[in-house]
């Protein structure tokens, strides 16, 4: 193979421009602050700094307007911007890279990017939470079967069920916020790995870029991507919750459940079966969780065997991160209107909450209030449900005489327990499923969102 062919192959293989150009905002911002610092430290003249900053601003505007010409011969976003700068203002532009390496430059860009998109994701999560709150509040008293092991277990309020996802999402925001604390460290000034002999001022750069602190160790600053791992972990856990919610929407919208109806824009038909209304949007959210998980696993694998300090392997931290961010934001964006479009079939939910021995635990707890130990009460009610199965009856079909044949502790008041509404109303401890407690839960959640954090 001819040397020039080999060179072209290597250039294409190692180039990152097609994806890292996404970081142009962060790259230019970091360069502007770096130049200001160089002027403050007397490493370049003030008028030189002004010329560089002015031209960087023009380049940024051209990129955003689509006028900037990206050139593949410059392998990444950094070289494209710097080469253009030098072509326009000559040797003055060549002073931009004073005291800086692409190693600390890209580490900075990635941290700035994480800081930016974390805010976008948390805002999108909040919009989904607001949709959940509205859905819960508008169907506050709707009773439905609650499940364990996908088996009907006890009656709950639909509003209580859907609010469970509000709190999952609130913890997701907490994870992103917590991960941001580790990303909030400025690496600029670390150089290639050992810093610089020049009198740089990393603390100034850190403050100007809005970081809470500068790096502690130059080798660590340029070589680790644990802040991206933590961010991807938060993305993955968020996608677990979105996938679980999507799975329930898929199940509930089937004829077998019939609890909800998804609006037409969020369903698709079949190319063969004209009657179908498939929950394709929810199914895609469920599937895209695996895509995000994969990016986390990929980066863990990239990092696990790297010696200090920088290695080119770290170029592989970007495409998965960018795709994870786009995937998460797309899922959140489509989930909010889908939740707002849901038609809740309240009567169907209620009818399904009445049968299937869902009040069995209530019956056992009734006996406990009459003085029977719970284990014995559990045994008695198990015998009652077996009797009902043999006779083809529901609990509500039993007469007082039939109940007293199992225990003399049953009184007339037990017959009031055999409704789903009575069951949920009786569960009135904080955080439980009674209407009173769910109202309090929704109020607390709304106050939390209005304050932008925990109450």
Q: Which of 241, 220, 221, 222 is nearest to 176 (CA)?
A: 241
Cα 412 from Cα 281, distance rounded (Å):
50
- Beta 260-261 vs 151-157: how paired, if at all? unpaired
Q: How many residues does the chain have?
A: 455
Query: Hey, is 312 helix, strand or coil?
Result: helix
How many CA atoms are closer than 13 Å to the CA of 168, on its beta-carbon side? 19
Which class for 429: exposed (0-12), middle (13-18), buried (19 or more C-beta within 10 A)? exposed
Distances (CA, A) of 48 to 92, 205, 415, 432: 6, 18, 88, 66
Q: What is the CA radius of gyration of the chain?
A: 30
Tokens of 225: 């991507």
Q: How many CB atoms lie within 10 A of CB 307?
A: 6
Cα 276 from Cα 262, distance rounded (Å):
12
Query: Hey, is 400 helix, strand or coil?
Result: helix
Cα three-residue angle 352-353-355, rounded to 5 degrees: 70
- Active-site residues, by number, are 149, 270
End-to-end CA distance of the chain: 67
Cβ atoms of 198 and 111 within 8 Å: the answer is no
- Beta-bridge partners for 151: 148
Q: Which residues, including other chains, have CB under 8 Å from residue 132's CB and lie 6 or more apart? A: 162, 163, 165, 166, 169, 339
Phi, psi values for residue 412, rounded to 5°: -55, -35
- Beta 260-261 vs 343-344: how paired, if at all? antiparallel
The residue whose two tokens read 């079967």 is: 145
């Amino acid at each position: 193979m001819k040397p020039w062919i080999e060179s072209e192959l290597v250039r294409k293989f190692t180039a990152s421009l097609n994806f890292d150009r996404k970081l142009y905002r962060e790259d230019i911002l970091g360069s502007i602050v770096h130049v200001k610092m160089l002027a403050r430290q007397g490493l370049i003249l003030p008028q030189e700094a002004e010329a560089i900053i002015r031209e960087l601003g023009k380049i940024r505007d051209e990129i955003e307007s689509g006028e900037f010409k990206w050139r593949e011969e410059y392998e990444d976003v950094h070289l494209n911007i710097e080469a253009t700068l030098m072509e326009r203002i000559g040797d003055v532009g060549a002073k931009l890279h004073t005291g800086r390496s692409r190693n600390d430059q890209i580490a900075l860009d990635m941290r700035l990017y994480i800081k930016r998109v974390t805010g976008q994701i948390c805002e999108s999560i909040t919009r989904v939470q607001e949709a959940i709150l509205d859905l819960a509040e508008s169907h506050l008293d709707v009773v439905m079967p609650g499940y364990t092991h996908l088996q009907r277990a006890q009656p709950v309020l639909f509003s209580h069920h859907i609010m469970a996802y509000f709190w999952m999402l609130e913890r997701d925001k907490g994870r992103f916020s917590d991960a941001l604390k580790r990303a909030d460290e400025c690496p600029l000034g670390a150089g290639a790995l050992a810093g610089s002999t020049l009198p740089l001022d990393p603390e100034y750069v850190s403050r100007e870029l809005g970081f809470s602190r500068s790096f502690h160790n130059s080798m660590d600053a340029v070589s680790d991507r644990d802040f991206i791992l933590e961010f991807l972990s938060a993305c993955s856990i968020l996608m677990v919750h979105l996938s679980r919610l999507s799975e329930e929407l898929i199940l509930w919208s089937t004829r077998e459940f019939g609890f909800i109806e998804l609006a037409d824009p969020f369903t698709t038909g079949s190319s063969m079966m004209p009657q179908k209304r498939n929950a394709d949007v929810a199914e895609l959210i469920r599937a895209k969780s695996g895509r995000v998980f994969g990016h986390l696993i990929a980066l863990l694998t990239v990092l696990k065997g790297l010696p200090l300090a920088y290695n080119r392997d770290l170029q592989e931290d970007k495409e998965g991160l960018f795709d994870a961010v786009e995937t998460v934001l797309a899922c959140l964006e489509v989930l909010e209107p889908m939740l707002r479009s849901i038609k809740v079939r309240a009567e169907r939910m209620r009818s399904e909450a009445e049968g299937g021995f869902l009040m069995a635990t209530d019956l056992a707890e009734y006996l406990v209030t009459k003085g029977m130990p719970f284990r014995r009460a559990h045994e008695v009610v198990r015998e009652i449900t077996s009797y009902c199965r043999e006779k083809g009856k529901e609990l509500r079909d039993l007469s007082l005489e039939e109940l007293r044949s199992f225990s003399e502790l049953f009184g007339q008041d037990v017959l009031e327990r055999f409704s789903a509404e009575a069951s949920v109303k009786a569960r009135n401890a904080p955080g439980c499923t009674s209407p009173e407690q769910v109202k309090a839960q929704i109020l607390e959640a709304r106050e939390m969102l209005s304050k932008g954090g925990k109450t």
